[in-house]
Amino acid sequence: MSRKKKKPISFDAMVKFFMQSYNIPTKKDIDRLGRRLDHIEQLVLKSLESPRGRGAAKGKPRAALTASDTVLETIRDFDDGVGFAEIKDRTGFGEKKLRNIIYRLNDLGKIERKSRGVYWTPREASESS
């Protein structure tokens, strides 16, 4: 009996096989990825244009102050120093966060400890800012 002749494998089929085997992206894959990136960029731009979060629903802009700036401004409002409890009440920060901020501000020399739990801003630090 005679053997059937096998159909020769085309070059295109061989290339396609290797691309699939080694996960090599095709032009179609690259184009699809580009469209998805464009879509993500548009979503990011939309989210930047209409901020959500606290205050945005009431039409108030978000505060540009950092937590450290807020604590520093609170301490500067008092000439004779202010206690830890008063700072906590005015800022609304938790105790651990507030202690870390006060430690950092004291370490940077922006505030000084007047007595236990009482902090103030020295004249040199408040004039230079």
| Domain edges within the chain | 11-49, 67-128
Write phi, then psi, for 60 (nearest 5 degrees).
-90, 135
Asked if residue 109 lies in contact with residue 125, where contact means CB atoms within 8 angstroms, the answer is yes
Q: What is the pLDDT of residue 55?
A: 46
Q: Which residues pair with 82 in a beta bridge?
A: 119
Percentage of the residues of the chain whose pLDDT score is greater than 70: 81
DSSP assignment string, 65-84: --HHHHHHHHHHT-SS-EEH
The tens digit of pLDDT for each residue in 46-86 reads 887 765 554 444 555 555 678 888 888 888 888 888 899 99
Residue 123 pLDDT level (bands cut at 50, 70, 90):
low
Q: Which CATH architecture has domain 67-128?
A: Orthogonal Bundle (1.10)
User: Model-level pTM?
Assistant: 0.47
Which residue in 71, 63, 115 sits closest to 97, CA to CA? 71
Q: What is the pLDDT of residue 9?
A: 83
